[in-house]
Amino acid sequence: MAIVVPIKDEKLRLLEGVVSGVPHDCLVIVVSNSQREKVDRFRMEGDVLNQLCHFTLRQALIIHQKDPAIARAAAEAGYHDLLDENGLVRDGKGEAMLIGVVAARAAGKEYVGFIDADNYFPGSVLEYVRNYAAGFSLAQSPYSMVRILWRYKPKISAGLYFKKWGRISEITNKYLNSLISTKTGFETDIVVTGNAGEHAMSMQLAEIMPFASGYAVESQELISLFENFGGILPTKESKAVAQGIDILQIETRNPHLHEERGVHHLNTILLSSLSTIYHSPLCDKEVKQAILAELVAQGILNDGEVPCPVHINSPLKSARIGKFASSMQDNFDRYSLLR
């Protein structure tokens, strides 16, 4: 398994802690979109990882999202969805995750997991990876995904309060479940990981999955699975449909404490997440109206406004992924921290 850590201008001690929590059997792939001008945060991240790898005798790659070599490799492979108007890789968490998937494939990995870089507890990172492995060992299909449900998400105010749900997760889960309920005729609360930044998938699934841009990526993964493999809309992936898609949601024992970024950041995530549901062809009028009412009530949209569609990168399988991975592998000497 490879563990991909997307990062953008996070505290260096948090990055060090996250990487130290990943078992040595896993290849760590840090994909950074941190600033390089004024203060070169990317170089500082590389220095931290280099020292950690040197003293712990572990393997890691660190890649900058705006590396022109990555953009050239994507263009040569015919994967133009990943590129912006300047010919570089688009900004966004989803794009960082895609780069990580291609790097994992180039390294010959069968599974790829994702862990956010803003986690304060290295011990919880170890639990995530063990849960990924447990989920894949339980899966019956080669097309499998494991999504982490945090047991608690503590808040610090007057004291430490172990809150069960974050505001964004609770709302996204609600509307994902509403969408499922309208198609089955049975009310459900089965989805509890709508915004699971900590999740993993088999490489076979990763190659046929569309990845949404930015913070919409986690909720869009579920929407894409419902659309492409739910049996309602036509699909080109008959082999995957025949073998089924296993989605395992595993609750942790450790709580999850991460960096707080303020209301604006949370609203951005919520808008992106609900937009993926709103614009899905599976979403009926009733659910659409409920989503609009929610976004207006949260002060994110005004009356009469609708969420803009998010950019969705086509599945890697639609491009020459072998060429993309081979081109990236040619640059492993620059990305590697193998000490």
Q: What is the CATH number of the domain that holds 29?
A: 3.90.550.10
For residue 137, the model assigns a pLDDT of 97
Tokens 């398994």 -> residue: 1
The residues near 247 (Cβ < 8 Å, ≥ 6 apart) are 144, 145, 147, 222, 225
Dist CA 226 CA 181 (whole Å)? 12
For residue 94, the model assigns a pLDDT of 95
Domain span holding position 175: 2-335
Q: Rounded to 10 degrees, what is the CA torsion of 176, 136, 106, 119? A: 60
For residue 132, the model assigns a pLDDT of 98
Total number of domains in the chain? 1
Query: Residues 149, 247: contact at Cβ < 8 Å?
Result: no
For residue 162, the model assigns a pLDDT of 58
For residue 262, the model assigns a pLDDT of 66
The stretches in the chain having pLDDT less than 50 are 339
For residue 236, the model assigns a pLDDT of 85
The residues near 339 (Cβ < 8 Å, ≥ 6 apart) are 50, 53, 54, 57
For residue 95, the model assigns a pLDDT of 96
What tokens were used for 235? 């699909």
Tokens 């089955």 -> residue: 184
For residue 304, the model assigns a pLDDT of 92
For residue 336, the model assigns a pLDDT of 83
Q: Which amino acid is at 173?
A: N
Question: What pLDDT digit, counting tens, does each position of 312-324 carry?
Answer: 999 999 999 999 9
Tokens 């809150």 -> residue: 163
For residue 293, the model assigns a pLDDT of 96
Dist CA 63 CA 5 (whole Å)? 10
